[in-house]
Amino acid sequence: MSGTAPLPAIMIAGLDKFYGGFHALKHIDLEVRRGEKIVVCGPSGSGKSTLIRCINRLEPHDSGRIVVNGIDVNDASSNIQDVRREVGMVFQSFNLFPHLTILENCMLAPRLALGMKKAEAERLAQRFLDRVHIGEQAAKFPAQLSGGQQQRVAIARALCMEPRIMLFDEPTSSLDPEMIKEVLEVMEELADDGMTMICVTHEMGFARRVASRCVFMDQGEIVEIAEAAAFFEAPRSDRLRAFLSQILH
């Protein structure tokens, strides 16, 4: 990297992660530029979730470096808080706080982590709920919404912290088919606005439309990285070819 190149959004170098004796991530190198959209795919157990959970330190890594917008992801709790302020995350199982209304779900982090006033947090939350097209449901509780609606709230909740990077861990995998589209549309709008994104997903249509690059993982390794067209049209490794033929039937 030359001195004039802008700081990468995420720099991962020589990353290793063990669960006990199990080598879950094997020497991962990955650099994500600002505004890039990365789609990560691979078979179950290949380490996709582990990789993105290391980025915001939901999992501590064992060796190697992760730098997010210039902040070293390490043991220092102040660094962890800083990184989590830069990085929003959306989970497969939504994980909305069930005892809080939709609006309160979105207000909690701005109020607690940023010390925002109630009225201001309310305005902010309403703005992002409107942005994911669910503003009129603000007073409801999560259990009153459909899965697709809940996931859009989860996206709004993360956006309320105004992160510069968004991580998605299979955001549509637990949704009924008719709800997948509404969530993907919100994610595409986000991509169009220039958000830096890492999405673990097997939605290949989304990957083709949105991804700057696709990453294929298998058994804790990054096997192949390529631009979307090349990734699908001309996979180089046998493992990716086998994987693609499986998920595209």
Partner 1 sequence: MPFDPSLAWDSLPRMLFGLANTVGITALTLVLGLAMAIPVTLARMSPRRIFRLPAAWFVMFFRGTPALILMYLVYYGLAQLPSIHDGPLWPIFANAFACAVIGLALNHASYLVEILRGGLEAVPAGLVEASAALGISPRQTYQWVRLPLAMRYALKAYQNEVIGFTKGTAVVGVITVVDLTATANEVFERTYDPVTPMLTAAVLYWCLINLMRIGFEFADRRLNRHLAAEEQRRRKPVAASLQPALARWTGLAAPNTERAL
Ligand X SMILES: Nc1ncnc2c1ncn2[C@@H]1O[C@H](COP(=O)(O)OP(=O)(O)OP(=O)(O)O)[C@@H](O)[C@H]1O
In the complex, which residues of this chain contact ligand X (CB under 6 A)?
A: 19, 22, 24, 42, 44-50
142 interacts with partner 1 by CB under 8 A = yes
The secondary element (H helix, E strand) that includes residue 206 is helix 204-210
**Minimum CB distance to ligand X, residue 47 (Å):** 4
* Interacting partner of 98 out of partner 1, ligand X, Mg ion, none (Cβ under 5 to 8 A depending on kind): partner 1
| CA neighbor of 199 nearest in space, from 97, 88, 59 | 88
172 interacts with Mg ion by CB under 5 A = no
143 interacts with partner 1 by CB under 8 A = yes
Rounded CA separation 217/15 (Å): 14
DSSP tag of 94: -
Q: In the range 33-52, which residues lie near Mg ion by CB under 5 A?
A: 49
The secondary element (H helix, E strand) that includes residue 243 is helix 238-247
Query: Count of residues binding partner 1 (CB under 8 A)?
Result: 29
For partner 1, which is the closer residue by CB, 144 or 173?
Answer: 144
93 interacts with partner 1 by CB under 8 A = yes
Residue 164 sits at the vertex; the CA angle it makes with 166 and 42, to the nearest 5 degrees, is 25
201 interacts with Mg ion by CB under 5 A = no
For partner 1, which is the closer residue by CB, 92 or 212?
Answer: 92
| CA neighbor of 195 nearest in space, from 157, 162, 148 | 162
Per-position x/- string for 49-88, each x denoting binding to partner 1 as judged by CB under 8 A, each - no binding: -------x-x----------------------x--xx-xx
Rounded CA separation 25/235 (Å): 22
Q: What is the DSSP string of 137-200?
A: GTTS-GGGS-HHHHHHHHHHHHHTT--SEEEEESTTTTS-HHHHHHHHHHHHHHHHTT-EEEEE
- CB–CB of 61/172 below 8 Å? no
**Minimum CB distance to partner 1, residue 96 (Å):** 8
For Mg ion, which is the closer residue by CB, 49 or 149?
Answer: 49
Residues that bind partner 1 (CB under 8 A): 56, 58, 81, 84-85, 87-89, 91, 93, 95-100, 108-109, 112-113, 140-144, 154, 157-158, 161
